[in-house]
């Protein structure tokens, strides 16, 4: 899912879709280089861009596109499983398989032995919010078409913008307020209050938006000081803490075919995390983040092919409005980041 998992600007458990689980440099979220690696010398001003300099961002975009396809495929598998199993059983099973590629990724970064949390309370809170948000998101998957859940989840940047005022003390100027208002009009187009019943599935999707926004805000506050291994591990633990106690009471012995399905969902989710990290090491976050919106294309395709969902023009129209609003908010954030860096210099 987009920001439900903590995403980009989310998604994802650990997502952030989303946007999400990485250190920030200036106003962009990127993997931090090891401390013992010297900075590259500045390129000469007259040097033309090399072929590799052009190809590297393109490879980052391709990694991001593949990651979002894998996230959407994982979510489609989860949606299919919710017809038979409790979401509280699906989550820990998926986490178990997702940990395989994630542990490989963390081992490449030096392993779990060197983990030290600089902000343990905020790290734990972020993990719990990610776990609660995933429960909301999985319930929404069980009750609504994938595309509708994604379209609502894409509202997370707007909620982050609003909550950043009281929580982070940020100033939000007229441009971003206008984008937020337009984005919420997009939500109204999708849910059509007065014409379509607002269900528990819609409320769950909105709950995942607010918990996802909390994950992103905590990320903004602590990302300069925390290790990626700490943040990813805390999210995995948060998913287990919020689901495993209930899973013990609702557990059903799955068939081997369903074990393969949940295993595929977990491996896809964990591998997608790896690709997001790779994408952000190859291209700026401002280039990578908009790629998450391709997930709605896969959601529409999966919904039509496997779940009998018709392509609702109101959902498509509302999603386009929300996506445009979110992209404009990202654009204004990028301008704001450049201005702040110029003042620092």
Alpha carbon distance 197, 202 (integer Å) = 9
Alpha carbon distance 296, 187 (integer Å) = 15
This prediction's pTM: 0.78
Alpha carbon distance 268, 9 (integer Å) = 21
The sign of the CA dihedral 276, 280, 283, 285 is: positive
Q: How far is CA 66 from the centre of its chain?
A: 14
Give me the residue spans of the domains in the chain. 3-29+59-146+158-170+199-311
Q: Quick one: angle between helices 146-153 and 120-143, nearest 10?
A: 140
Give the contacts of 29 (CB within 8 A, at least 6 positions apart): 8, 19, 20, 22, 23, 219, 223, 280, 285
Alpha carbon distance 176, 180 (integer Å) = 6
pLDDT in tens, 149-193: 998 998 888 888 889 888 888 888 888 888 888 888 888 888 776
Residue 139 confidence (pLDDT): 97
Q: Which residues make beta-bridge pairs with 193?
A: 196
More confident residue, 159 or 29: 159
Model confidence band, residue 345 (pLDDT cutoffs 50, 70, 90): low
Unique residue bearing structure tokens 């000081």 = 225
Model confidence band, residue 51 (pLDDT cutoffs 50, 70, 90): very low
Kindly report the backbone phi and psi dihedral angles of residue 7, in degrees, each rounded to the nearest multiple of 5, phi listed first.
-60, -170
Alpha carbon distance 274, 20 (integer Å) = 13
Burial classification of residue 237, based on how many CB atoms lie within 10 Å of its CB (0-12 exposed, 13-18 middle, 19 or more buried): middle
Burial classification of residue 327, based on how many CB atoms lie within 10 Å of its CB (0-12 exposed, 13-18 middle, 19 or more buried): middle
Number of helices (H) and strands (E) in the chain: give both, helices first. Answer: 12, 2
Residue 19: C-alpha distances to residues 246, 278, 302 (Å): 29, 14, 22
Residue 32 confidence (pLDDT): 34
Alpha carbon distance 239, 31 (integer Å) = 23
């Amino acid at each position: 899912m987009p920001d439900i998992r903590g995403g980009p600007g989310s998604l994802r458990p650990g997502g952030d879709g989303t946007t999400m689980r990485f250190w920030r440099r200036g106003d962009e979220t990127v993997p931090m280089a090891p401390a013992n690696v010297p900075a590259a010398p500045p390129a000469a001003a007259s040097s033309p861009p090399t072929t590799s300099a052009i190809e590297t961002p393109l490879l980052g975009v391709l990694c991001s596109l593949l990651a979002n396809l894998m996230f959407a495929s994982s979510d489609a598998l989860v949606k299919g499983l919710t017809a038979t199993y409790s979401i509280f059983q699906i989550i820990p099973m998926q986490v178990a398989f997702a940990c395989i590629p994630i542990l490989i990724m963390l081992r490449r970064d030096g392993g779990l032995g060197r983990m030290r949390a600089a902000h343990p309370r905020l790290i734990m809170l972020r993990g719990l919010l990610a776990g609660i948000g995933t429960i909301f998101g999985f319930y929404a998957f069980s009750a609504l078409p994938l595309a509708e859940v994604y379209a609502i989840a894409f509202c997370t940047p707007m909620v982050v913008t609003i909550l950043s005022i009281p929580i982070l003390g940020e100033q939000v100027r007229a441009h971003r307020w206008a984008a937020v208002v337009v984005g919420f009009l997009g939500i109204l187009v999708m849910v059509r209050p007065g014409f379509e019943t607002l269900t528990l599935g819609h409320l769950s999707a909105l709950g995942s938006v607010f918990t996802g926004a909390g994950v992103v805000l905590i990320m903004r506050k602590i990302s300069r000081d925390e290790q990626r291994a700490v943040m990813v591990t805390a999210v995995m633990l948060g998913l287990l803490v919020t689901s495993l106690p209930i899973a013990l009471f609702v557990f059903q012995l799955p068939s081997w075919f369903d074990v393969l399905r949940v295993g595929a969902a977990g491996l896809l989710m964990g591998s997608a995390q790896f690709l997001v990290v790779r994408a952000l090491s190859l291209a700026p976050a401002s280039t990578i983040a908009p790629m998450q919106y391709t997930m709605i294309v896969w959601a529409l395709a999966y919904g039509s092919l496997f779940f009998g969902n018709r392509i609702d023009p109101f959902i498509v129209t509302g999603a386009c409005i929300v996506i445009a609003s979110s992209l404009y908010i990202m654009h204004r954030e990028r301008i704001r980041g450049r201005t702040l860096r110029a003042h620092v210099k």
